[in-house]
Structure 1
């Protein structure tokens, strides 16, 4: 049983002439308060909602029977934007084909954030038609992280895709020889 003892025993100073009777120690039983505390703790633990982990939905391709078979997917170059992630949070991007500057394919440097790559993605999302007839269309962003890009950079660019409401994006690890030259320039 939990008790609280008070230290006053009732006697006076030694050597005093007055005689006082001894008082018994006052005891307070704390058992009920301890029980109540545990009941409250249990109640609040069961009724509060714990923070849920935040995650992003990521669609992965179906497994093929033959993984060595490379599938080439043709995309409309007017709808395509390629983003290459390099080391030290460097980004190069181009619209359409890299080797066609007249189609907007000249590689450009960018940084993360609202005045960097987000601004360019938002321009492209608005300029590319979203619906044509029955088919859904819109901007396609191809994200190509290099071996020296960090996981944080990949998460940052995926966040940009969610913020800009890009309808279709893909993470690709195939880097063409022309793109490899850009990567070499970024990693200098």
Structure 2
């Protein structure tokens, strides 16, 4: 996998179409969620972050394989609920698998030190390449871009979201 790996809007929408065809309840996260919420692509993306129910994993993998995204891309910190797949060329998909709890909240991570968050955190609406998509809501997109030392992409994304949606800029930005 030499060279830069950048996800294009057309690739993202093709993956989302494949997921929908396989009835996978996917939600766009990360940088693409930011751009979806803003309604335009504001930077290049090295991957596509996707939230999906762990129970949909079989169909999610089938859908991604139908698009050639069928190889594990080992990444520091990989876990059974968070790992990266790629197509051997350009497209990387960073999967974030969760389980719905009886009270409706979503659980992400291990049983010992996982985190829970409201299901509504994944009820955002945005647009990628002219196609409506489900994505993280603005407040949670900001929250998930914080809590660690900000990267260049975070320093780009967070102020744009805060300015557009009237969210207070977090410390460190």
Same fold (TM over 0.5): no
Q: TM-score range by the shorter chain?
A: under 0.3
- Which protein shows a greater Rg? 1
TM-score by length of 1: 0.25
Higher relative contact order (CA closer than 8 Å, sequence separation 6+):
2
Query: Where is the strand percentage greater, Structure 1 or Structure 2?
Result: 2
TM-score by length of 2: 0.26
